[in-house]
Amino acid sequence: MDVALLGGAMTSFGSRDGWVRDLASEAALACLDDAKIAPADIDHLYVSNMASGEFEGQTGVMNALAHDIGAVPAYAQRVGQTSASGGAGLYAAWQSVASGASEMTLLVGVEKMTHLSTADAGDIIASLTHSVEYSHGVTLPSFAGLTARAYLDRFDVPRESLAHVAVKNHANACKNPDAQFHKAVDVETVLSSPVVADPLRLYDYCPITDGSAALVFCPASLAREYTDEFVTVAGIGGATDTHVVHERADPTWMGAVADSARQTFEMAGCAPEEVDVAELHDMVTVLEVLQLEAFGFADRGEGWRLAVEGTTALDGDLPVNTSGGLKARGHPLGATGVAQAVEIYRQLLGNAGDRQVEAERGLTCNVGGFGNCVTSALFEVDT
């Protein structure tokens, strides 16, 4: 069954006063309004969230949201896949409709993080790691430092090329009213910011963020009764890599991204060259580069050139992270994968404002851990 996106919305991202329930309700109600459906129409409700229990002592967020927005007695389920919970939610919501189990599914991704210090939030996130790595004080940013050094050394890549990813994504976020940062940065600013995990610096990394994003899924046949123009899920995929990050044969290759990409392109019956716009998981600059290579948008060791040469800029051949990405739109863990798809939904329907690009087919890639769990999805506009 062809699955359509009937609506999409998100809260502004950043440091927000509301808690996880408030943020989720805000995005959910805006999304139902966009889809022009009522809470009682919802058969299935999925809530993508990494760690609301650890962050604010609130578990059971799927039931809380069902009650708060008047969706009871809809079937409700929390979807957890660490920082790829949003992408996993896309997969679950797509499955619910594609299988015929649900005619109308609401997916809400949400996370509230900024009330904690960066160090405390970092330890909660690092709790996804294996005990033999955790004991050494690893953080997700530390894996990025190890990987970036290996990548720069192995392929003789200039360090400043990674800064171009941050510069591009900050520039894009300036045109996104929902983004956390509306501040342009230059290469010099990135390269002179404080070291986080050498050779990477503060401006190579995404911030800690509060926010929520939501989408409504239904059969394409039903979507036609509501609207003339809508977005469909053309392909979707998901895969895992090793839990112990150091056990991977090649630290510069994102195997789960490549596996997920292959499934996604196979289902959609298209090739990387046919993608018009992409939202990739730039938790750190080097990850955008490695995903470009794993998706086949660039050869091994060449992905860094795309930001430097402007290929991935708003006016380039393949605009990447038009929203500002995790880097500058912000990264509220469980919300991110849903927000990526909201950006593609808006781009494909021509509702992306000052950052609008010409696109009929858009891709999302959401990464959990340091490439541990990955989902990707390809969306097309149906007119």
Partner 1 sequence: MTDETRAERLFAHRCPNGHLTYPAHPLCPTCDEAQVETVDLTDERGVVLTWTRVEATPPGVRQPNTLALVEFEVGTETVRILAGTTADVQTGDEVSPVYVEQLRDPEQSVRAGTGQEWDGFRFEPVQ
* Chain residues that interact with partner 1, rule: CB under 8 A: 54, 118-120, 122-124, 126-127, 130-139, 141-142, 145-150, 153, 194-200, 242, 244-247, 251
Q: Report the nearest approach of partner 1 to the CB of residue 176 (Å).
A: 26
- 26 vs 32: CA distance, rounded Å: 10
Please, which residue, 53 or 272, has the CB nearer to partner 1? 53
Q: Report the nearest approach of partner 1 to the CB of residue 173 (Å).
A: 22
Q: Report the nearest approach of partner 1 to the CB of residue 148 (Å).
A: 8
Please, which residue, 55 or 379, has the CB nearer to partner 1? 55
Please, which residue, 18 or 199, has the CB nearer to partner 1? 199
Q: Per-residue b/e over 184-204, b at no fewer than 16 CB within 10 Å?
A: ebebebbbebeebbebbbebb
- 208 vs 54: CA distance, rounded Å: 15
Please, which residue, 37 or 197, has the CB nearer to partner 1? 197
Q: Is 244 helix (H, G, I), strand (E, B) or coil?
A: coil
- 150 vs 107: CA distance, rounded Å: 38
Q: Is 354 helix (H, G, I), strand (E, B) or coil?
A: helix
Q: Is the backbone peptide bond immediately before 73 cis, with ω within 30 degrees of 0?
A: yes
Please, which residue, 168 or 327, has the CB nearer to partner 1? 327
Please, which residue, 149 or 182, has the CB nearer to partner 1? 149
Q: Report the nearest approach of partner 1 to the CB of residue 243 (Å).
A: 9
Nearest to 163 by CA among 183, 141, 192, 143: 192
Two structure tokens written together for 93: 């919501």
Q: What single string gives the DSSP state of each residue in 74-128?
A: SEEEEE-BTBTHHHHHHHHHHHHHHTTS-SSEEEEEEE--TTS-HHHHHHHHHTT
Please, which residue, 106 or 200, has the CB nearer to partner 1? 200
Q: Report the nearest approach of partner 1 to the CB of residue 203 (Å).
A: 13
Q: Please count the helices (runs of H) and the strands (runs of E) in the chain.
A: 15, 11
Q: Report the nearest approach of partner 1 to the CB of residue 346 (Å).
A: 33
Q: Report the nearest approach of partner 1 to the CB of residue 143 (Å).
A: 9
Please, which residue, 147 or 364, has the CB nearer to partner 1? 147
C-alpha distances in Å from residue 330, one per residue of 1, 107, 126:
33, 19, 18
361-368 β-sheet, strand order: 75-79, 44-48, 105-111, 211-219, 3-10, 230-240, 373-382, 361-368, 277-279
Q: Report the nearest approach of partner 1 to the CB of residue 195 (Å).
A: 5
- 334 vs 212: CA distance, rounded Å: 8
Q: Report the nearest approach of partner 1 to the CB of residue 138 (Å).
A: 7
Q: Cβ-count burial of 1 within 10 angstroms (0-12 exposed, 13-18 middle, 19+ buried)?
A: exposed
Q: Report the nearest approach of partner 1 to the CB of residue 218 (Å).
A: 39
Please, which residue, 247 or 266, has the CB nearer to partner 1? 247
Q: Is the backbone peptide bond immediately before 39 cis, with ω within 30 degrees of 0?
A: no
Contact 330, 79 (CB under 8 A): no
Two structure tokens written together for 246: 């150091």
Please, which residue, 120 or 360, has the CB nearer to partner 1? 120
What single letter denotes the amino acid at residue 253? W
